[in-house]
Chains A and B, each alone.
Chain A
Amino acid sequence: MAAVPSAAADVGVTDMTASARKNERSVTATLAAATCALLGTTAVTPVDAREEPKWDFNTSLLYYGEDEGRVMDASFKSIIRRLFADDRSLTLGLTVDALTGATPSGAIRQDGPQSFTRPSGSSAYTERAGELPLDDTFKDTRVALTAGWQQPAGEMGLLSVGLSASKEYDYLHTGVNASYAHDFNNRNTTVSAGFAFASDSIEPVGGAPAPFTSMLDVGDTSNRAGDQDKDVLDVVFGVSQVLSKNLLVQVNYSLSQSDGYLNNPYKVLSVVDGITGDTLPRTPGINGGPSGEFLFESRPDERTQHSLYTQAKYFMNGKVLDASYRYMTDDWEIDSHTLDVRYRWPLGETRYIEPHLRYYTQTEAEFYRLSIDDSAPLPQFASADYRLGNFDAITAGVKYGWKTRNDNDMSIRVEWYTQSGTVPTQQLIGNQVLRDNYPDLNALIVQFSYRFSR
């Protein structure tokens, strides 16, 4: 016989390797059949085993950008979880936010240009005629750290305790939290209770202005006080119940009590003429200053919020429908409703797509004012912060997730957020009726997440 051409020899080798591989796979089937014969069984329940990872790393990068040059946030978040024997775990989290952009100051639009003293008190800036006044000095880096410990407490209990701290240029947060969850009824019912206490201190740029004092000329710090603080206590009670193998429902009640300095030290209200609704003019000082009368806002130093949250998760063949509703009410007279729906749709074994829709609506705070009427007595409290106004918001987006070759999880989420509000008509004075008073907001959110365990 002639020598075998090398190409054919290669094919031969490849075939042998492939058949060897096939043989290795058939070992499982042969062994299974031989074992059934040995043990005299016909049906065997398949193995259900999985390795408990020791480390879990969850990292995400988030971009949040408001249109028209308003706030932009680039955020990095990393959560590391270390699992120990007996279901104990330690979780450490780090978040770094870089915030830039401009945010509405609370002053109303005017037909002419307006000038303002910056929060630092060291310079002034001008807003063009007809434009919504934005404080363009919004720039901050926030670093937040969290640490949590979780462990079983008795046979049916789970105890969690945690610490949190975050630091921004003008803000320091420190907090503690703890919760306990207890399973009943063959672990089909879980009852939980928890609390979180935060002690925050606010060190506004240039000092905290006294409420209802005027915005002063550049260099004049006579209305500035020192640092401020506030405490927030949150208490949560919850019940979750497995109703069937497809349906899980949860109900939570939470109470939040805030005490202390609850103002935003950078927000002002325009003082307007009782007939025209235009801002009272003022002559800026020699080094610059406000061109009108603006008062720093004044909020109550207490706030009590109650919220009721219900969630249902419905599992059907790998698909998951997750719907929740939250009702919140507080003694500032803000009532809000949030409806949130997600639907996870698997695409094959390793991929999924998850559309998300959220609707939010709130009524304005009792002391929300577009402006201060110069001809009327000064109210006890007032704020023109658009976030305390009457508004609706919709978040719509989609998340796409996949498993990598090494079984790690990746996902990308893209969402649009749109917020629009109205100022109650009885608050509009004179020329204000013709202006666009509520600063609408549109934002784009893009998040990339990566998770791996080992």
Chain B
Amino acid sequence: MATARPGRQVRLVAAEQGWAGRFQAMGSPCEVLVDGGSKANAAALTALVSAEAWRIEDKFSRYLDGNIIHSINTAAGKPVEVDTETGNLLDFAATLFEISDGRFDISSGVLRAVWTFDGSDRIPSQEAIDAVLDRVGWQRAAWSGGCLTLEPGMEIDLGGIGKEYAVDRCTSLAGDASAIPAMINFGGDLAVTGPPRSRSAWKVGIEGPAADSADRLVKLRQGALATSGDARRFLLRDGVRYSHILDPTTGWPIPDAPSSVTVAADTCTQAGMMSTLAMLKGPDAESFLAAQELLSWCRR
């Protein structure tokens, strides 16, 4: 059913050292790099991975009607009972809300109604911000016993977790399905099932620590890499640059946020969340990352 959507197709090409299966999901180009083995094996892995990615997209995309997110966001103050997988994601979001002092908030998406990061100088008025801020705040949600109740007008969006979660799910499925090492890369958030056989490590290019520095090469044998931030999404007014990372506690962009943060961690979910948490630290992103003792790159 999932694969029946228009535009959903996979392409398998011979890569330098094996196969590359490509498809589009969650608004990103997705790739399954398989380190050798047969074409049939690579095709099977790509089919498995793309099906899982599309399943997650269909289930959790806030742009689609009829899924669990749509049910929650249109419940108008009524409780919604959720399945185990959705519940696990909500538990995870609740933990992130706690450890980020309320800055990582899956209910902050409605702020996008007033903020559009298109490089222009259109800063919304404080009144407009205050109006949407009334509908933001995970602390106002009632989440217990598999039931989620949002205040009317509130919405949730799992977009900040979904892609990394999908990468980890797909990596785990691919690792179980085949002993041939593979790298699962969804728009730059990636994980590997193990070290490659044909060379010493998977090589991933990332942007250097400074905006004008050259790309860096990371050798990954095990684990994952994820990047938060987008140097092209910002607002500029009176010489002040507003990043697209919004602070749900104020309704304003996080001041002095890095333009992007890349983190290497055991799983893509950890890497992605750690990079987002670092962005939310604003000027303290570097010291926060240093305290985590993870390999990371902070780009300003």
Contact = CB atoms under 8 A, between A and B. Distances in A.
Contact of A35 (B172, B220, B223, B269): B269
Contacts, number: 109
Interface string A26-59: 0110111011011111001111111110100000
Contacts of A35: 92, 168, 266-267, 269-270, 273
Contact-residue bracket for chain B: 35 or more
A46 B293 CA distance: 13
Contacts of A34: 91-92, 95-96
Contacts of B91: 34, 37-38
Interface stretch (B26-34, B119-127, B146-154, B211-219): B211-219
Nearest to B100: A27
A38 B214 CA distance: 36
B223 A45 contact: yes
Nearest to A156: B198
A187 to B, nearest CB: 8
Interface string A228-260: 000000000000000000000000000000000
A405 interface: no
Given A35-B270, A41-B172, A49-B264, A155 B223 contact: no
B165 interface: yes
| A39, A54, A155: residue with the most chain B Cβ atoms closer than 10 Å | A39
Interface residues of A, number: 29
Contacts of A48: 195, 220-223
A39 B291 contact: no
A37 B217 CA distance: 32
B291 A21 contact: yes
Contact of A38 (B221, B224, B269, B277): B269
A40 B92 CA distance: 12
Nearest to A86: B203
A39 B172 CA distance: 9
Given A24-B288, A45-B223, A49-B220, A39 B169 contact: yes
B182 interface: no
A39 B267 contact: yes
A54 B217 CA distance: 8
Given A21-B291, A24-B292, A28-B293, A47 B269 contact: no
Contacts of B71: none
A47 B219 contact: no
A186 interface: yes
A51 B217 contact: yes
8 contacts: A27-B292, A28-B274, A34-B91, A39-B168, A48-B195, A49-B225, A51-B217, A54-B214
Interface of B: 17, 88-89, 91-92, 95-96, 99, 165, 168-169, 172, 194-195, 197-199, 203, 205, 214, 216-225, 264-267, 269-270, 273-274, 277, 288, 291-295
Given A31-B273, A35-B270, A35-B273, 18 more contacts: A21-B291, A24-B291, A24-B292, A27-B274, A27-B277, A28-B292, A28-B293, A28-B294, A32-B270, A35-B269, A39-B172, A39-B267, A47-B264, A49-B220, A49-B221, A49-B222, A51-B219, A52-B217
